[in-house]
Amino acid sequence: MTLSLGDTAPDFEAETTEGKIRFHEWIGDSWAVLFSHPKDFTPVCTTELGYMAKLKPEFDRRNTKIIGLSVDPVGNHAKWASDIAETQGTAPNYPMIGDTDLSISKLYGMLPPAPRVTLPYELRPIIRPCAMSSSSGRTRKSNSLSSIR
């Protein structure tokens, strides 16, 4: 499914750190921001979730709810919240979804495309950025049609 600007956000049911929700009912008459992070306990995601918790009063002031999504189970999110509080000065103060079956990630097109080739090598020409050095020692960047064999 491809989502475009102006589309109605797909509805779903999910387990969250604040209990089970149906997304559209949870939004109610508010705006909503659904954001995702790939895995619990990763350094960048830890800082991002702490930052969102610090910004939550600003979202509230604008009648906007925030909700996070990860492929890890809700139980992991609860444990991670303590780590976020310790390292970022505040724990998530919004629900976090456990999307262990990837159903919401797929519904919203959040996953990367499947690998093109499962072999260790690609067997067809592809365009890749590369750097080439000339005899004068100058390096120039270009796109090159190349094959990995």
**Residues taking part in catalysis:** 45
Query: Cα angle vertex 27, ends 24, 28, to 5°?
Result: 90
Q: Are 49 and 68 in contact (CB under 8 A)?
A: yes
23-60 exposure pattern, b = at least 16 Cβ within 10 A, e = fewer: beebbeeeebebebbeebeeeebbebbbebbeebeebe
* β-pair partners for 23: none
Nearest C-alpha neighbor of 36 from the set 107, 97, 85, 92 = 97
